[in-house]
Amino acid sequence: MTTTQQPSTLRVGMVGYAFMGAMHSHAWRTAPRFFDLPLRPELAVLCGRDQVAVKAAADTMGWQETETDWRSLVERDDVDLIDICTPGDTHAEIAIAALEAGKHVLCEKPLANSVEEAERMAEAARSAEAKGTYAMCGFSYRRTPALTLARRLVEQGRLGEIRHIRAQYLQDWLSDENVPMTWRLDREKSGSGALGDIGAHSIDAAQYVTGLDISGVSALMNTFVHQRPLAGTRIGLGGTGADDGRTGQVTVDDAAIFSARFDGGAVGVFEATRFALGRKNSMRLEVNGTRGSLAFDFENMNSLEFYDGSTDAEAAGFTTINVTEPVHPYTGNWWPSGHGLGYEHGFTHQVVDLVQSISGGTTPSPSFDEALRVQKVLHAVERSAADESRWQWTDLPL
Amino acid sequence: MTTTQQPSTLRVGMVGYAFMGAMHSHAWRTAPRFFDLPLRPELAVLCGRDQVAVKAAADTMGWQETETDWRSLVERDDVDLIDICTPGDTHAEIAIAALEAGKHVLCEKPLANSVEEAERMAEAARSAEAKGTYAMCGFSYRRTPALTLARRLVEQGRLGEIRHIRAQYLQDWLSDENVPMTWRLDREKSGSGALGDIGAHSIDAAQYVTGLDISGVSALMNTFVHQRPLAGTRIGLGGTGADDGRTGQVTVDDAAIFSARFDGGAVGVFEATRFALGRKNSMRLEVNGTRGSLAFDFENMNSLEFYDGSTDAEAAGFTTINVTEPVHPYTGNWWPSGHGLGYEHGFTHQVVDLVQSISGGTTPSPSFDEALRVQKVLHAVERSAADESRWQWTDLPL
Amino acid sequence: MTTTQQPSTLRVGMVGYAFMGAMHSHAWRTAPRFFDLPLRPELAVLCGRDQVAVKAAADTMGWQETETDWRSLVERDDVDLIDICTPGDTHAEIAIAALEAGKHVLCEKPLANSVEEAERMAEAARSAEAKGTYAMCGFSYRRTPALTLARRLVEQGRLGEIRHIRAQYLQDWLSDENVPMTWRLDREKSGSGALGDIGAHSIDAAQYVTGLDISGVSALMNTFVHQRPLAGTRIGLGGTGADDGRTGQVTVDDAAIFSARFDGGAVGVFEATRFALGRKNSMRLEVNGTRGSLAFDFENMNSLEFYDGSTDAEAAGFTTINVTEPVHPYTGNWWPSGHGLGYEHGFTHQVVDLVQSISGGTTPSPSFDEALRVQKVLHAVERSAADESRWQWTDLPL
Amino acid sequence: MTTTQQPSTLRVGMVGYAFMGAMHSHAWRTAPRFFDLPLRPELAVLCGRDQVAVKAAADTMGWQETETDWRSLVERDDVDLIDICTPGDTHAEIAIAALEAGKHVLCEKPLANSVEEAERMAEAARSAEAKGTYAMCGFSYRRTPALTLARRLVEQGRLGEIRHIRAQYLQDWLSDENVPMTWRLDREKSGSGALGDIGAHSIDAAQYVTGLDISGVSALMNTFVHQRPLAGTRIGLGGTGADDGRTGQVTVDDAAIFSARFDGGAVGVFEATRFALGRKNSMRLEVNGTRGSLAFDFENMNSLEFYDGSTDAEAAGFTTINVTEPVHPYTGNWWPSGHGLGYEHGFTHQVVDLVQSISGGTTPSPSFDEALRVQKVLHAVERSAADESRWQWTDLPL
């Protein structure tokens, strides 16, 4: 046996180690255990500003070394890929620097906090790709097997021509007015609220599954709670505010609603909110075509509902596909049929596909260009909401 | 036993005997068998333009006599109530004439084909009520026990302050392009398409359940199929077009989508379509408040989902209430728990409540004024859709 | 128009007017309004022992005359059919007398309180049928459209060879120990408890849907609550006992569980209980074959779950058939797709089919012979439960 | 920082590396990344008979070294715990040797292939525990958060006195007659078929959740397919047989059904089969008590249905608890609410609890004694099935 049979390593440097950092670490650790990867990921360097905290996190999450300045990380010769898990206001700067330094990039969604940033990032990605360096945006829901299967069924023509898309992303962790401030409620950090945080997933998923782009929107945005406690106890995404009376200003939308037209004539309706009491992570997508329909709810993430219009009328109906069969996307590498995957598997699959793209020299998907299209929709939504819900085409100049 | 103990009769004259006529006949026949009514309904006169057909229908549906001109019906002394089951373009004329003739009126929804007509009808109803004559509009879904219970839970304060309403009314009987023309696709007869036919139910249900009025909307309307066969075989609401090549123009919307603001700060999103392949009569309503949430889908009409935010966190979740208990609205008069009601029961309950209002001298609900409020929303939706989805307040002058 | 075009009448005399009496009255009244029947049912005579009560019931339910002695009813020349809605201990006597008097018979289930009675009834039915008089047993669940469709799918071979049947009938109206005594808890009246009351439905449905007979069983029966208040307030099937301390002895099973073998090699498992807290009328049936599977729960009575093993693996799963399409059994005579039927429709369909059998001169189904087969299973279950659960074949001599 | 702050390691040696081996490896790797463990697990030695294969597996799964003889493994000084992932016929020998060598043991379920073996193992575990060495049996379903929560709700008294348990474990991977032989179909290796493979999980889960032991059973077992291809392509648990005509004899049950009595008066009904076409891993448990009820289906593993009998009647029903909240068992260490866990998390939680027991010096649960109780039920089921389903008490001498 010669060493050439061992796959080369892909040395990862990751910036940020909160919720998304823990998740990405798990994905990098786990992917090579279940998938036969052409490059073996190595959790090389974890980067965060607080030296003590980042060391503790690196130990818990399994990273070999740490850095406290992302610029130093980007300059290291012993790192091949930069994984960006920070709030959106830092994405553009880090990603562009990394790509210019010849590092592959995985960047959390949404790509940026503005179309202008996203365009610069997409431009950087195109330039980098010409030199064999690749960039992917982390719209991980695409790689939930049920949504990957949804895309496959559309590609097979089993839905016919698409007419309706309805997408809801419903959470409730802000429903309690006493949940404290977080960077996700600060427009400077996050760009927008429910719209960018979760609505962006719905936009990407709708465009991905149908293969159609959103051409225009009319939107309504709303903020229910304008002041929140500054500090308190964080639990999950939410938590409980402190009693000290200090509050901060919520500067983002709590809910975003918009109607949309897609290329090809389909119409869509979208809603994103973190105030839907009782809905924990109900990322729903429903698509109706001339030949079939699909329905998905992430709270039942291992299932896809499919209506096949070609079934005899007596037996037609929505079929609950338990998307855990060997024939389904990704699932054959995991457990036997019906044994169920969880939220993290989408991230592991993301790593699998990214590594294969890098190794194979193909553009990863979602590319920064695809993510830019999402950004343009986010922008059009905000413009419409600010102008009496008037229709906005997504391809207008800024 | 003296004859005074027998309830007086309420002699009904009904105009129209298609889908809604068959349904109303069933309701008039059945209500006194299961509910103790203060007036005993009598299926006195059925009215339709085709003498042979109306006689056959009267025989099948159990009506004693027939008329072929609604004006003659309205003038009869031996009729106490006029039940209007015709397309919307005739509602105003018949209802106003009947009310002026001192007949109570039950009018199918939507109340009219325009706000102008609806305002005249509401005015006539107010005048009539001053003389002890009552009018009700047939938004029958309100009396589906699960939706009546939903209203009750909101009234009890169990949802707290309402923040979100999402209402979808999804059918698919027009999805096939070969389904033939019908009066429901002719703007002259029906006023609008999916919007007035089924969207009106969603608007009424949303306002009824939450007790809040819609103050403004932004809308998108779409027609997918513009030409349809003129004739063919009717099956259910749809059917199969003939092969003779003759087609008619669809002059209404196939789908209507709108966002809304409600009095009090709630935001809503509505969708009505008859092109949601696989959805048969999926009239869905979901409401999120500060203390609780509700979800309903008519395809599971005996259930209401209720999230009670006051439940301990460990055991909280959406509760599927099987709305068939003696304690639930209407259901104690029917079968034992869990034995299930059907679509027609809402109509029977409508008759029960109408008869009790007439006997008790109270305004029936939905009154023509309530139905007028729905009409104003329909109108605002059409104006917004015709003006680049720009926001329209519902209380603007015409 | 000549009188020969009018269908002849079928004059019905009904014994009993409690829960089942109200239901059968509704069915007789309603069937000719929605189905084109060859004989027009007439609610001729209602029979009950209490003259005042039976007159009041006849008025409410729409019967023309009353009798207080079933023997007088059976002897009347102006009655064509006797509908037996009394407790099981009276079925044999009434049914046999009626058949001998040349009256058609519809008898509520279970057919009798013993195999011996059931055999005499079946014998009487066979003799009567030779003279053109017909008898049917009221296992009405068969005519829930979803279960009729289930039978049709099995007949079409879409399940292949049947391997597994699991049937549960779960109610909870006896779960509270304070619910008062009723004839359903008195072995003298009812024959058995959960077993005969609801388990009998499961047995009939399992045999009907699969087309297979149960050949043997092993059983466990249990009584949880042995003493109950004698009187109190009846609500639905249950209610609240009085505080006077007087109690009666429950002499039947509260729950019955049995495993079964079917002709052809399938195995089954059955459970009937009125102590499954939270389950209101959960009559579930699940069937697995070599080519397909079915699942049904009466609490979602308008749906049938069907797994079609011939679907491509990627899209296979349980399909929720909304059994309300024109192509489905019975439903084309009711409302448009998706509008939902209720519990009572099975009884109306039962009347439709019975009238057609009588008019057409064919044996109604379930015949008394079919009901006798259910009775034999009930008997074998009781014998096994009384003998350490030892296996009992159903075809053994008594 | 001193070294004493670092947790000591727990050096694991694992025997077997098929489905369960891959799963356990994942659990050992992952547990310390998300839970703060008092001992840090080290994937020290993987053991398998085929040297090349075991080395490849060790590399993929992350084990440091390999052994080809479990006896050598057990004797190593640098291993603290033996994890047994082999077929049941080897459990007793390995586990007893390991315990005698002072190694902690985690043994896959069922504990053994006979009560006699299980008793010896339990005896060995008791002796070992006296010396501070611990043994756990891997009934991992207990640590699915929804089932752990179920147990907690019962302990809180929210179900009251238990009356009914119904447990089904339905799979379909053997439904196709062409699926090839496997050790799971060979009585010598596996002890029994569906009964021990999956029915054992149901037995353990039922006893665990209710806190009640099964006292007696009556059973029916069946084998549908007696001959299967000897070789072919393995896919998941099933696969496709080769065409060479060689077949092997299935020597186990394909399906096992039994009724049961529990200590305290509850009755239960169990079914385990791998022939329920369309059910992939439907491990269902339903419990009815005097005050509440529970229902679970592993195909929706993140949900638990709970009926709280103390809810006001108007709002009562089964609540779907999305068991992903911080307050729920284990889930606070993973993702935000609603983001969903998968099958593997139960195994990770098993490792967490085992490590904490070992470190804290408490008996792990399920102990070998608990697993022995399951074994006794399995044995009673087989005896009853072999004796005309006659009742068997579980505490009889062998």
Asked if A180 and A102 sit in the same domain, the reply is no
- Pick the residue from chain C with its C-alpha nearest to B300: C300
C-alpha dist (Å) from residue D75 to A321, B256, D16, D53, D106: 48, 74, 17, 22, 16
B321 shares its domain with B195: yes
The DSSP secondary structure of D110-167, one letter per residue, reads: SS-SSHHHHHHHHHHHHHHHHTT--EEEE-GGGGSHHHHHHHHHHHTTTT-SEEEEEE
From first CA to last CA, the distance across chain B in angstroms is 58
Residues 248-287 of B with CB under 8 A from A: 255, 257-259, 261, 265, 267, 269, 271, 273, 275-279, 286
Residues of chain D neighbouring B310 (CB-CB closer than 8 A): none
pLDDT in tens, B130-175: 999 999 999 999 999 999 999 999 999 999 999 999 999 999 999 9
Decide if D103 touches A, using CB distance below 8 A: no
Give the pLDDT confidence of C175-197 residue by residue, as tens digits.
999 999 988 899 998 889 999 99
Structure tokens at A233: 């106890």
Q: Which of C87, C121, C141 lies at the terminal end of a domain, its last residue?
A: C141
Contact (CB<8Å) C337/B30: no
Strands D267-273 and D162-170 come out as parallel
CB pair distance less than 8 Å for B277 and A267? no
A332 in reach of chain B (CB within 8 A): no
Other Cβ atoms within 10 Å of A177 Cβ, number: 13
For C280, which of B279, B298, B338 is closest by C-beta distance? B338
Q: Please count the residues of chain A.
A: 398
C chain contacts of residue B60, beta-carbon cutoff 8 Å: 32-33
* Mean pLDDT of all residues in B308-317: 97
Find, in chain B, the residue whose alpha carbon is nearest to that of D149.
Answer: B314
Do residues C176 and C156 share a domain?
yes
Give me the percent of chain A exceeding a pLDDT of 90. Answer: 91
Taking contacts as CB-CB distances below 8 angstroms, the residues of chain B near A290 are: 175, 277
Contact A339 D338 (CB under 8 A): no
CB contact (8 A) between residue B19 and residue C173: no
CB of D30 less than 8 A from some CB of A: yes
Coil, helix or strand for B355?
A: helix
pLDDT at B397: 67
Of D299, D322, D340, the CB nearest to A322: D299
| pLDDT for D261 | 98
Task: Tell me, yes or no, whether C129 and C158 share the same domain.
Answer: no
Please give the DSSP secondary-structure letter assigned to residue C7: P
In this structure, is residue B397 part of a structural domain?
no
Can you tell me whether residue C34 is helix, strand or coil?
helix
Q: How far apart are CA A282 and CA A277, in angstroms?
A: 11
Q: Is the pLDDT of residue C396 over 80?
A: no
In tens, the pLDDT along B364-397 reads: 999 999 999 999 999 999 999 999 999 999 987 6
Residues of B in contact with A259 (CB under 8 A): 218-220, 257-259, 389
Q: What is the mean pLDDT of chain C?
A: 95
CATH number at residue C37: 3.40.50.720
pLDDT at A2: 40
Q: Report the C-alpha gap between A36 and D60 in whole angstroms.
A: 9
Residue C199 and residue D275: Cα distance in Å, rounded? 25
**Which of D236, D325, D345 minimises the CB distance to A342?**
D345
Phi and psi at residue B65, to the nearest 5°:
-135, 175
How far apart (Å, rounded) are the C-alpha atoms in residues B39 and B41?
Answer: 6
Task: Name chain B's partners: 3 or more CB pairs within 8 A.
Answer: A, C, D
Distance of CA B249 to the CA centre of its chain: 26
Residues facing residue D164 across a β-bridge: D267, D288
Q: Is residue B293 part of a domain?
A: yes
Q: Please check whether residues A86 and A200 belong to one and the same domain.
A: no
Q: What is the pLDDT of residue C397?
A: 67
CA gap D155, D176 in Å, rounded = 42
Q: Confirm or reject contact between D240 and chain A (CB < 8 A).
A: no
Which pLDDT does position B2 carry in this prediction? 40
- Contact call for D267 and C388, based on CB within 8 A: no
Residue A163 maps to a domain: yes
Cα–Cα dist D84/D103, whole Å? 12
**Could you tell me if B105 and B171 lie in one domain?**
no
Quick one: which H or E segment has residue D260? strand D255-262
Can you tell me which residue has the tokens 């000549």?
A: C2
Range of the domain at A106: 3-141
pLDDT of residue C1: 36
Q: How far is C35 from chain A (nearest CA, A)?
A: 21
Q: Are residues D330 and D341 in the same domain?
A: yes
Q: Span C91-104, mean pLDDT?
A: 98
Answer yes or no: is pLDDT of A150 > 90: yes
**Of the residues A125, A141, A157, the one at which a domain ends:** A141
pLDDT of B1 reads 36
Question: For residue range C205-240, what is the model confidence (pLDDT) as tens digits?
Answer: 999 999 999 999 999 999 999 999 997 887 777 788
Give CA torsion, residues A379, A381, A382, A387, to 10 deg: 130
Number of structural domains found in chain C: 2
Q: What is the average per-residue pLDDT within A296-308?
A: 98
Q: Using CB atoms, which residue from D278, D290, D391 is nearest to C318?
A: D278
Contact: D316, B316; criterion CB under 8 Å? no
Same domain, C74 and C89: yes
| Closest residue of chain A to C328, computed from CA coordinates | A314
What is the C-alpha to C-alpha distance for residues D297 and D283, in angstroms, rounded to an integer? 5
| Contact flag B340-C338 (C-beta cutoff 8 Å) | no
pLDDT beyond 90 at A204: yes
Same domain, C201 and C87: no
Residues of C in contact with B173 (CB under 8 A): 336-337
Contact B338, B322 (CB under 8 A): yes
Residues B345 and B381 in one domain: yes
Is the pLDDT confidence value at A240 over 90? no
D contacts of A341 (beta carbons < 8 Å):
342-343
Establish whether the linkage from the previous residue to D110 is cis, with ω within 30° of 0: yes
Please indicate whether, in this complex, the C-beta atoms of D267 and C220 are within 8 angstroms of each other: yes
Would you call C61 an interface residue with chain B, using a CB distance cutoff of 8 Å?
Answer: yes
Q: Which helix (H) or strand (E) holds A194?
A: helix A194-194
Task: Establish if D320 touches chain B: CB-CB under 8 angstroms.
Answer: yes
Q: How close D323 comes to chain B (CA, Å)?
A: 8
Q: Is A11 on the interface with D (CB under 8 A)?
A: no
Q: Which residues of chain D have pLDDT under 50?
A: 1-4
Provide, as residue numbers in chain D, all residues whose Cβ is less than 8 Å from the Cβ of A298: 338-340
Torsion sign (Cα): A352, A354, A356, A358? negative
Asked if residue C204 and residue C79 are part of one domain, the reply reads no
* Nearest CB to A313; choose among C158, C315, C327: C327
Instruction: Flag if B306 and D316 touch (Cβ within 8 Å).
Output: no
* Tokens linked to C375: 């009775």
**Closest approach of B382 to chain D, Cα-based (Å):** 38
Read off the pLDDT of each residue in C121-148 and give the average, rounded to a whole number.
98
Tell me: do D154 and D126 sit in the same domain: no
**Could you say which residues from 142 to 201 on chain B have a Cβ atom under 8 Å away from some Cβ of chain A?**
163-164, 166, 168, 172, 175
Residue at D67 is within a domain: yes
The answer to the question of residue A356 being in a domain is: no
If you average pLDDT over residues A288-298, what whole number do you get? 98
Distance from CA of C286 to the nearest CA of B (A): 19
* Facing residue for C320 by CB, picked from A308, A318, A322: A318
Q: Is residue C361 part of a domain?
A: no
Q: What's B288's domain CATH number?
A: 3.30.360.10
Partners of residue C265 in chain D, C-beta under 8 Å = 224
* d(C-alpha D101, C-alpha D128), whole Å: 9
pLDDT (tens digit, 9 = 90+) per residue, B14-44? 999 999 999 999 999 999 999 999 999 999 9
Query: Residue B390, Cα to own-chain centre: how many angstroms?
Result: 28
C315/C309 Cα distance (integer angstroms): 10
For the stretch B276-305, pLDDT in tens is 999 999 999 999 999 999 999 999 999 999
Determine contact: B49 vs chain C, CB below 8 A.
no
C345 falls within a domain: no
Q: What's at B285, amino acid-wise? A: L
Count of other CB atoms within 10 angstroms of residue C200: 26
Confidence tier at A239 by pLDDT (50, 70, 90): confident
CB hemisphere CA count around D245 (13 angstroms): 0
pLDDT reported for residue B346: 98
Beta strands of chain B (E only): which ranges? 8-15, 39-47, 65-67, 81-84, 104-108, 135-138, 162-170, 214-222, 227-229, 232-235, 238-241, 247-249, 255-262, 267-273, 282-289, 292-297, 303-308, 318-322, 392-393
Distances (CA, A) of B333 to B328, B352, C23, C152, D236: 10, 11, 12, 34, 53
Domain endpoint, select from C118, C141, C164: C141
C280, B322 Cβ separation under 8 angstroms:
yes
Residues of A in contact with C308 (CB under 8 A): 315
Question: pLDDT of A88-136, one tens digit each?
Answer: 999 999 999 999 999 999 999 999 999 999 999 999 999 999 999 999 9
Give me the pLDDT at residue B240, please: 84
- Please give the average per-residue pLDDT across A362-372, as a whole number: 97
The reply to whether B127 falls in a domain is: yes
Facing residue for C319 by CB, picked from A153, A317, A325: A317
**What is d(CA C115, CA C367) in angstroms, rounded to the nearest whole number?**
15
CA-CA distance, A280 to B318, in Å (whole number)? 11
Q: Among partner residues A303, A314, A321, which is closest to C315 by beta-carbon distance?
A: A321
> C326 and chain B: CB distance < 8 Å anywhere?
yes
Pair B392, B383: CB distance under 8 Å: yes
Per-residue pLDDT, D250: 96
* Token couple for A146: 């049920």
